[in-house]
Amino acid sequence: MKNLKIFNLGSNNSLALEIAHNLGRELGDVTVKEFNDGEKYVQFNENLRGRRVFLIQSTNQPDGNLLTLLFALDAVRRAGGNPIAVIPYFGYARQERKSAPREPVSARLIADMLENAGASGVLTMDLHANAIEGFFKMAKLDQIYARPVFLDHFIDTFSSALNSDELVIGSPDASGSGPGRARAYARHLSKRLAGKNIPLVVLDKRRDKHNTSDINYVLGDVENKIVLLIDDIFDTCGTIIGAAQALINQGAKEVIAAGTHGIFSKGALAKLHASALKKIFVTNTIHNPEVIELSQDPNSKVKMISVGKIIADAIRNINNNESVSGLFD
């Protein structure tokens, strides 16, 4: 561990501090600032030569956070270090393919930019599309999952529902990676419960334009069940709110949602509190003061669960040239 250095680039100070604490390290000394004209500036204030340097930066609000990360990668490379980008939330992951003529494949461009800036590795969590793993030609991409952290919490929180066979796991979207994600949660939860069957439900969603969707029908039995919906990103939350209402209409007893990345744009948190959802679990990959405040309120529907330890464990394993997949398999 002596060659390891960790730096916080400013997108999520509390998560960076927690990661460093779990590693038993101090965050390195780096200056990150913005000039009056909006240009970003990064300077490392300690020797990096021959060190493996982990740079912690989520790329929500990408125009600022992504540029800062790119500049930091370049600076580390030029200083003789070995830079690894730790990106808890990978921005532009929802633009991993062309869905209409004359569109870019933005996630591929981001991967190219990270590599060109000098990243020898990228550590990220719950990519929206696993195809992004194939966009990196030189840098080693390690994807970890919030699933073990969520499952630890769910086994305690929903022990009664699990014992009475009331809990089912669902995907709010039948397309993309949604059903596979829900299936993985059900499979790993079953493993932890000595092979107990965890039923799955899927909702069919038809999207007609950006950030809007309609829920059409429910595939699976939800009558008198507690449905745990699994998603990767909570943005406007129209999909998850519509799914919850459709499930209640089909006789579900309660609907709970869990998602890794909480963007919560366009008044989404207020809409969630007014929705049919009983509880919303989200991690801290994205810094959101409102979510932190709500999570501390016992009357709030929103509960934040930290992924700082599992990210720290992944950094430790990468630095020690050990397996990362063992953290969640």
CATH number for the domain spanning 295: value is 3.40.50.2020
Same-domain status, 51 and 172: no
Same-domain status, 221 and 161: yes
Residue from 205, 225, 301, 303 carrying the catalytic annotation: 205
Contact 273, 251 (CB under 8 A): no
Grouping H, G, I as helix, E, B as strand and the rest as coil, residue 79 is coil
**Model confidence band, residue 103 (pLDDT cutoffs 50, 70, 90):** very high
Same-domain status, 68 and 128: yes
Same-domain status, 290 and 232: yes
pLDDT digits (tens, 9 = 90+) for 233-242: 999 999 999 9
pLDDT at 8 over 60: yes
Active site residue 5: no
Same-domain status, 321 and 196: no
Same-domain status, 172 and 87: no
Rounded to the nearest 5 degrees, what angle is found at the Cα of 284, between the Cα atoms of 257 and 171?
Answer: 25
Output 269 or 212, whichever has higher pLDDT. 269
pLDDT at 149: 97
Same-domain status, 241 and 318: no
Task: Record the pTM.
Answer: 0.94
Same-domain status, 129 and 111: yes
Same-domain status, 133 and 250: no
**Model confidence band, residue 215 (pLDDT cutoffs 50, 70, 90):** low
pLDDT digits (tens, 9 = 90+) for 16-25: 999 999 999 9
Domain hosting 203: range is 147-306
Same-domain status, 95 and 205: no
Same-domain status, 160 and 300: yes
Same-domain status, 170 and 269: yes
Q: How many domains does the chain have?
A: 2
pLDDT at 164: 87
